[in-house]
Amino acid sequence: MVSKVVILTGAGVSAESGIQTFRAADGLWHNHRIEEVASPEGFTKDPALVHQFYNDRRRQLLSADINENAAHVALAKLEQHFAGEVLLVTQNIDDLHERAGSTQLVHMHGELLKKRCLGCEQITAVTDDLSVESVCEYCNSTAQLRPHIVWFGEMPLQMPRIEKALLQCDLFVSIGTSGNVYPAAGYVQLAAGNGAETLELNLEASATNSLFDQCRLGLASKLVPEWVEELLSQ
Ligand code: BJW
């Protein structure tokens, strides 16, 4: 009987909502060198370019075209109706899990709708574009605001909470992630090493596919609701 579940989601869970994944041929990295837009060094070198990259994505996320899909909705339903504990750990910076109703949620790579001041460290909401001229509403400094995103070389957020849940869970499910970015890609080993069952739901086999007990390939909007119904009927 499963009582503690940790779910890791990646870009694939939001793909059918119209948000590009990273590593597909036409993905987000297609037009950008990763280190230019997703590293602290890239931000120091060309903050305007990095702001533009995230401003474009924020505008898209807030447009009327983008909505949660059946996979997000099913995961929120699981949290609401499952008798045990569910922790949803997302690598995604969109807010589609929240829009679907998930609350036990960790954004380990940050959030597109938050900004952080490098001067006073305050984290605040943002829906407008950021620029090098943006002023921090707390400390009034200019050119210190950055998107609240975890870039390469930076520590993902809420690591102790995530690791504790992984060591205690009896089921770990990875959805829509290619398994290329650590520490998230190592979570299957951490959970399995402590006796958890492991399941991958993905469009194609991830880089860590062989480490999972079970794998189902297909669209998240189909696989996730099916799996949620199975778990709720156990
Ligand atoms: C569908 C679908 C559909 C599509 N249905 N599925 C050498 C070895 C090991 C590690 C390192 C190393 N050198 C450096 C590192 C560490 C580094 C790292 O992992 N680098 C790799 C490149 C090797 N990691 C870091 O630096 C991290 N920090 C860190 O390690 O700190 C130190 C530490 C030490 C010990 C413990 C803890 C910490 C930070 C990583 C930050 C990642 N940031 C990014 C960008 C910022 C966010 C943003 O702009 O949005 O986060 S990178 C990017 O990749 C983004 C994503 O969250 C992340 C993962 O991508 P994801 O989600 O897997 O997307 P894709 O596109 O790769 O895959 C999509 C999948 O969906 C595919 O499989 C499709 O098939 C599938 N799919 N449609 C179902 N409809």
Whether the pLDDT of residue 29 is over 90: the answer is no
C-alpha span between 113 and 57 (Å, rounded): 10
What stretches of 36-188 adopt beta strand conformation (E)?
85-90, 105-107, 110-117, 123-125, 145-149, 171-175
Range 124-140 average pLDDT: 96
Q: Which of 115, 152, 157 to mutate to test the pocket of ligand 1 (most atoms within 8 A of CB)?
A: 152
**What atom in ligand 1 is closest to the CA of residue 185?**
19
Assess whether the C-beta atom of 138 lies below 6 angstroms from ligand 1.
no
124 Cβ inside 6 Å of ligand 1: no
43, 177, 60, 34: which is closest to 112 by C-alpha? 60
Residue 70 CB less than 6 A away from ligand 1: no
Of the candidates 137, 87, 100, the one whose C-alpha atom is nearest the C-alpha of residue 117 is 137
pTM of this prediction exceeds 0.85? yes
**Distances from the Cα of 147 to the Cαs of 20, 27, 44, in angstroms?**
19, 20, 13
| Residue with CA nearest ligand 1 atom 72 | 178
Contact call for residues 216 and 206 (beta carbons, < 8 A): no
- Helix or strand run (H / E) with residue 215: strand 214-217
- DSSP, collapsed to helix, strand or coil, labels residue 19 as coil
For ligand 1, say whether the CB of 182 is within 6 Å of any of its atoms.
yes
Residue 218 CA to residue 214 CA, distance in Å, equals: 14
Ligand 1: distance of its center to the CA of 23 in Å? 9
Measure the CA–CA gap between 181 and 21, rounded to whole angstroms.
13
- Measured distance CA(28)–CA(45) in Å, rounded: 20
Helix (H) or strand (E) holding 202: strand 197-202
167 lines ligand 1 (CB under 6 A): no
How would residue 28 be classed by pLDDT, with cut points 50, 70 and 90? confident
Looking at residue 155, its pLDDT comes to 98
Q: Which active-site residues does the annotation give?
A: 109
What three-state secondary structure class fits 147?
A: strand
pLDDT of res. 34 = 87
Cβ of 202 less than 6 Å from ligand 1: yes
pLDDT of residue 32: 86
- pLDDT attached to residue 4: 98
Structure confidence by residue, pLDDT tens digits, 147-202: 999 999 999 999 999 999 999 999 999 999 999 999 999 999 999 999 999 999 99
- Which residue CA neighbors atom 10 of ligand 1 most closely? 182
**Ligand 1 mean position to 185 CA, how many Å?**
7
Average pLDDT, the chain: 97
Query: What pLDDT score does 175 carry?
Result: 99
Task: Report, as an integer, the average pLDDT of 58-84.
Answer: 98
Share of the chain above pLDDT 90, in %: 93
